[in-house]
Each structure stands twice: as structure tokens, then as C-alpha cells.
Structure 1
């Protein structure tokens, strides 16, 4: 409908001040914002004046005539209202009234709130309604002409025609906003949602943060929503190992939160970071399930770094099974066949397992003792707990992990970090804090929006 709707309590200086001959806040907003409909909230005292000379409606009609347009006036009468300083009353009263008004508007309309007219309790209640952010509104404060307190003295008789003819704004009218100032207080609900989003980010629960953002979409401007969404989507992509898209968004947003960017190295490092997030969030079942592929890849990289053997060249194209044609008559094959006599017989093609890689590592003289010990520990952990989450519907705690492996989940993560030092991936200590740095950057960006 493209209407501009104003809700305004009516105060002592409305519609035109008898003291300084400047129009009050209600009329001033109507003048400068092109208001098409105004709801005038009148207490008992104000209503008496309205019924005596129709001053408020008549002033608005004269403004509409001057501007060659129509302004629809709606009077909300409260003849029995005398306790005009009761904030609690107005808070509940305005909440009902504003919801009724909003229900009649559509997305093309603009809703304005006058926070300068009426008693202090009235003005405070209107401002609270705006800052709570339960609906989309613009709160407008109108500065006094003298930039001080208004004088509310008045005569018993009020001649609208006379005061309209003397109204200062009719002499100084321009295309600007006059004495109107939009109150840019952030919505309390918007702040609350932002804090919930930030708390989810701190816990790396980006999917939940995205859900909260979607539920609060109407509270944010289009640009704010897009920025929020891009940042959270980037983090969520990273956690789900879609790091190429995540890196692209991070670069666009000016975030430096990827310590490892090399394509051949980023995959395993990002995987290790992701399972560390599971650990920190006490999602121990998923943490355990994720260890086997990580341990296998780490042992492969350890072997490649220590002995220059790229073991995956002996795998099938899908990297699932050993390729016996490539493997036979190699040093690796001799180690494996020496350990398992039936390894790779004609009846079966063995799947690649970390126990195979470990056997190669511990039987090669070029591998240092500390590397062999690290690989053995990795394999022992996998063997001890791989069935704990895979075949049991149970709650898994850090204490359960420690009972099975003699190591806490943090100690297991420390062992993983040690294993990385035996690979060609140069992981600096600060890199393990990539998610914390990313989260801080996201929260910093949110605070600036």
C-alpha cells in the first residue's frame, strides 16, 4: 500500500505551541515524513481539548491541504485515563495498540513512532516498544526549537486558524527533515539474537547460528543479513570440509583464518581441526569415529616424509584396496607378506588398513624410533576404541575414552599434533587455534555491522 503510518501520543505542545508558535512533534513528523495516516493517542485531558475545538485533526488537515495531499487521522480515545505517569500501564497499552496497527500494514508500508510527544511515561513506553524490536519501526525524536525544554503554558482558548497562520514552520518549510532525528537505538531483541548467534559461533555450532539468523531475519537490514549469513556459511562450510569455498568467502570478507592453504596439505589438516572441534564440544562418539581415517592418512604422510615412500601409489584408484599388481615384488609387499602369509592371495584383495602401514613403518630402518613409537600409539588407540562408538548405542564420555586407551581425548589430540611434526606439513603451533581465530574474526565483524 506504500503508506507512511505514524503512531503518536498527543502532548502539551501539539499541534502548535502557543508559547513559541512552532509546531509540535506530531505535526512536524507529518510535515517532513509525508505521513499518510496518523494515529493520535489521547488521554482524558487531551481528549477534552480535541472535543472542544478539534485542534489536532484540524491542524493535520491544514498541513495536508498546504501540501496538496491527504492525511487520514485516527483518534484513539482514552477519556478515563488520568494516571498519565504510569509507565507499566502504557507499556501494556501500547503493545496491544501497536500490534493491531502493524497487523493492517504490509511490507511496502513504513511505520513511524513519535517519541517526543506526551508524558515521560508515554514517550518511554513508545521507545521501549521500538527497541524491543518486535516489529519493524522507525522511532523519531523532534528537537525543540530552542534546543531546550518546551514551555507548556497555554491559554484557555485555542484558535487553530490563528496559530496555523502564525506557525513558524510555514515560513521556513524546506525539503529536509526539519527538527526530526531518527533514533538509531539497536533493537533489544536484535541484540539478544546477535548474542545468541555469537555464543553459537564461539562453540563452533555454525548450523545453529544460521538457524537463529534465519528466524531473526526480519530484524536485520538486507546488508546486515547478507553479511551475517556469508560469515556463518563460510564457517559452516569449513567445518564440513568444504574448505575451498570457505577460503574463497574468507578472502572476500578479509578474514585470514586458514593457516594451511596448500591444496595437497589442507585436506588432512582441516580434517584434524574439525575432529578437534568435536572433541572440544564433547561430541566424543563422533570424535572416536573420525580417528581411523585420520590415523591412516597420518601414517601415510609419516612414511612419505621419513622414507620417501608414497604408499598410496600401491592403492587402487579409489584408495580403498591394495593394488596387488603394483605391490608385488616391492619392499612394502615383502614386509606385509612376511607378517601375513595369506596377504593378497588369489581369493581376496585386502583393504588398506592402518595396521598395514604401521607394519611397514616399524620394519623400515630409515624410520626413527620416535616416529615408530608415535605410529604404534596411534594404532593402539584405534584398536582400543574403534568399536566403542561403531557397534554400541551408548553414551561416550572422556572418562570412557581414558579407560579404553589410558589417554584422555586431549592427550590423543596432542599425539595427533605430534604426528603432524613427522610429516611434510609444516604446522605452526598457532595453526591449531585456527577455529578460535576465525570465530573471533567473525564475532568482530558482527559487532561492526
Structure 2
């Protein structure tokens, strides 16, 4: 859909037997709707001869299959040289039409009206929040116009229509789209795309005026979601008009399982953004709690071993209970004492302990067991290095320790979540940030 927003001046609707800018844009762009802003001065001229309605009627007769909606706005700005009189009302017009028709392209007539009106249209043509395009129409004389203006007392709209040379199919198209506006809009687009490519949604949120209006709430959602502010992200996701599900997931009857899956999968998504943007030190440091959660979920869902049966909770700590192990799994107590050379009671459950459980259950040599072993090694080595040195974790560090890079590690963790939560996990979730980025790219 195309909407033309146009002021009318002393060259409209027809002057010197040629289209004024508004009529010429209609002729060559065929907008579905025309929003015409008429100042009190132009309204007075129109009252004498009904010039605008006659001009619209003439172009519809010339093109019988063309029937645009005409929306007239009678302005109240008497002094059309006052810039501040136009910016807010013109912006509101563009904003309202953009909200009503988000996919519409709004054509802005840069050649009609006072200088201040044209300047306002030019600013709106460069505003990335809206799908606008500035259209300039060259004077048919290719210089400052010498023919009488439509504000003259002897202006004859009927003669202008009858003798309009632009009705000839061979007449030139005098419309152009100034490169300056395209360059400025493309620069703004590139700034936004750079932020999207870096998944820097907080910075993007601060560039609010550069974001299309129908994407701002989505950007706010992503800013909170990428910061693991899940409650706020979920609230912002309500009624977001995007053509895809922001939280793709299969149906689940167990609220506890659903909550665990969402917490772990969303945390992994945050880690994935760190990996993609090269924040590998933070990536490794923040990996530990997820690994521990996934180990316990794997033990429960795949190995049918509930760590909750052998632990006790004290405040925020989950502690291993020798008494519970002895009562439920006496052979396990013996194994753990051998494995750890007497393991300590009432210590925090850890990656090392869960890996011992996996070994006891015969899972150490499975693909998942080897992954957890690699993660234990990464955790011990890189967490110690990050905590006690000034060095950052590099891609080579990760590869040297576990035999594959950070991207492959994220892929393995995604596959692990899909295995643990096979009934719940929709793989589309792991592309949700890229899906959102692609959607915002399109809206630009």
C-alpha cells in the first residue's frame, strides 16, 4: 500500500498547463490514499473554484481504474513561514497512518507548500521510525517558474485541466527520489543493523527514535530477555504483533518441568549471545550454573536418578546428604568414598559430584557423559584462570581444553536440552534472536 502525504501550494493542483507536484506524484506513483494538507490561504482559493476536487476528478477520468481515497486536512496555521507550526501535526499524521497501516509506504511531497512545509517533509523523509520516501517533482520549465501561480485572481482551473500537457502519455516523469534522503536513511539503517548484528539490544533501545514504531516493544522485550530478565521479557511479549512465536514450545502438563525447561533454555540463549559476540570470559564464567542444572536434569529425565532424594536444602544451598545416600543407595556411598577417597558430607552439589554419579550409572562414556567431563575440565581450568589472572578466555583456550570451540559447545548444549526435554523443546527457540533480528531488518 502507498499513501501520499502532500501539502498544496501555489503550483497546485495544475499550473502553466502542467501538473503541480501533488497531481504529478499521483499520476506516476498511483498511491492508494492521498492525505492533503490545506492551509487557510489555499482553502480560500479552493472555495472559489473547487480546484482540488476537479483535479482529482480529472485524473480519475484519465485513468479509469485508479480510485484513490482522498483525505483532506484543513490546517489552521495562518503563518505558513513558521516552522514550529508544522512539525508536530505533520509527524502525527505520518505516525497515525503508520500505525493504521504498518506495511504502507508513505510518500512525502517535497515540492509543494511553503519552504517550512517542505523542510518538515524533508525531516520526516529521513526519519527511520517510519516507512517514508521523499518525492521531489522538478518544475516543468526546468528553472524557477514564470507561469502564473494558482493563487492569481485570473487562475482558471477548467482551462488548466483541459490543456494539461501531462495528460499526454509521452510527457516526461518529473518525479525523483533525492539521493540525500536515501543516503541518510541508509546510514541510520546501518547503525541499527550494526546493533542487531551485535545483539546489543540495550544500545538499540536507547536509539528509540531510529527504530520503527512497530518494533520498539520487541526491542525492549529483547533487551530484557538477553539480560535474563525473564519476567519482564515475558510481560512485554504479550500481544506483540509479530508473525512468529517468541517462546516456541510444545505443550506440557507439568508446570515444574515446563519452568525448569524455560529457565535452562533461556539461560543458554543468553550464553549463546555471549559466544556470538566474543565475550568468552563471561561465557565460561556463567556456564557453571547451567551445566549443574543440566546434569541434574539429565540424571532425572534420562537416567531416572533424582538428585533431590540424596540432597537437602539449606537456604540457597543444595547439600549432599550421606545419610540419604546410605539409606537409598548404599552401593553408591561405597563408590563415592572410593572415587573421592572419602567424600565429604553436607557439601554443595557440584559438577564434579554429578559427573561421579554419571560414572556410577555407566554414562561416563556416552556422548553426554564426555560432554559433561569436558565441561568439568573447562570449568575448573578457565574459572580458576579468570578468577586469578588478568587474562581473557580465548577461543584457542577453549579448543585446547575440550577439543572443540565455543560455537560447537553451544550446539552440543542445545542438543542436550533437546534430548532432556524431548517432549517440550521446539528447536526454533534456539534461533529466536536471529528470527527477531531478521524481522526488524525487514521492518527497516
TM interval, short-chain normalised? 0.5 to 0.7
The 5-angstrom pairing of residues 275-314 of structure 1 reads: 275-313=271-309, 314=311
* Farther-moved stretch of structure 1 (279-288 vs 299-308): 299-308
2-structure distance, mates of 1:407, 1:373: 12
Secondary structure at the aligned position of 2:302 is classed as helix
The 5-angstrom pairing of residues 280-429 of structure 1 reads: 280-313=276-309, 314-316=311-313, 318=315, 320-322=317-319, 324=321, 326=324, 329-331=327-329, 333-338=333-338, 339-341=340-342, 343-344=344-345, 349-365=346-362, 367=363, 369-370=365-366, 371-417=368-414, 419-420=416-417, 423-425=420-422, 427=425
Contact kept? 1:304, 1:310, Cα under 8 Å: yes
Stretches of structure 1 lacking an aligned partner (at least 5 in a row): 27-31, 38-59, 76-100, 119-123, 173-181, 218-223
Question: Structure 1 residue 397: deviation in Å?
Answer: 1.9
2-structure distance, mates of 1:216, 1:393: 38
Question: Structure 1 residue 233: deviation in Å?
Answer: 1.8
- The alpha-carbon distance between structure 1 residues 430 and 169, as it changes in their structure 2 partners (threshold 3 A), is same
Question: Structure 1 residue 299: deviation in Å?
Answer: 1.3
1:230 corresponds to 2:217: yes
Residue of structure 2 in register with 1:216 after alignment: 210
Contact kept? 1:327, 1:333, Cα under 8 Å: yes
Question: Structure 1 residue 362: deviation in Å?
Answer: 0.8
2-structure distance, mates of 1:308, 1:159: 87
**What is the aligned length?**
352
Residue of structure 2 in register with 1:35 after alignment: 39
**Greater gyration radius:** 1
The 5-angstrom pairing of residues 89-168 of structure 1 reads: 102=83, 104-105=84-85, 108=88, 110=90, 115=111, 131-133=125-127, 164-168=153-157
- The alpha-carbon distance between structure 1 residues 319 and 117, as it changes in their structure 2 partners (threshold 3 A), is closer
Question: Structure 1 residue 210: deviation in Å?
Answer: 1.3
- The alpha-carbon distance between structure 1 residues 160 and 287, as it changes in their structure 2 partners (threshold 3 A), is closer
Question: Structure 1 residue 236: deviation in Å?
Answer: 2.4
2-structure distance, mates of 1:193, 1:165: 47
Contact kept? 1:289, 1:386, Cα under 8 Å: yes
- The alpha-carbon distance between structure 1 residues 233 and 25, as it changes in their structure 2 partners (threshold 3 A), is closer
Contact kept? 1:116, 1:141, Cα under 8 Å: no
- The alpha-carbon distance between structure 1 residues 333 and 397, as it changes in their structure 2 partners (threshold 3 A), is same
1:256 paired residue among 229, 245, 268:
245
2:435 paired residue among 429, 434, 437:
437
1-structure distance, mates of 2:157, 2:190: 46
Question: Structure 1 residue 354: deviation in Å?
Answer: 1.0
- The alpha-carbon distance between structure 1 residues 328 and 150, as it changes in their structure 2 partners (threshold 3 A), is same
2-structure distance, mates of 1:421, 1:279: 19
Stretches of structure 2 lacking an aligned partner (at least 5 in a row): 1-5, 23-35, 50-74, 92-107, 162-174, 251-257
Contact kept? 1:16, 1:164, Cα under 8 Å: no
Residue of structure 1 in register with 2:197 after alignment: 202
Secondary structure at the aligned position of 1:437 is classed as helix
- The alpha-carbon distance between structure 1 residues 383 and 415, as it changes in their structure 2 partners (threshold 3 A), is farther
2-structure distance, mates of 1:194, 1:272: 29
1-structure distance, mates of 2:279, 2:234: 25
Contact kept? 1:133, 1:190, Cα under 8 Å: yes
Secondary structure at the aligned position of 2:282 is classed as helix
Contact kept? 1:201, 1:439, Cα under 8 Å: yes
TM-score, length-normalised on structure 2? 0.60
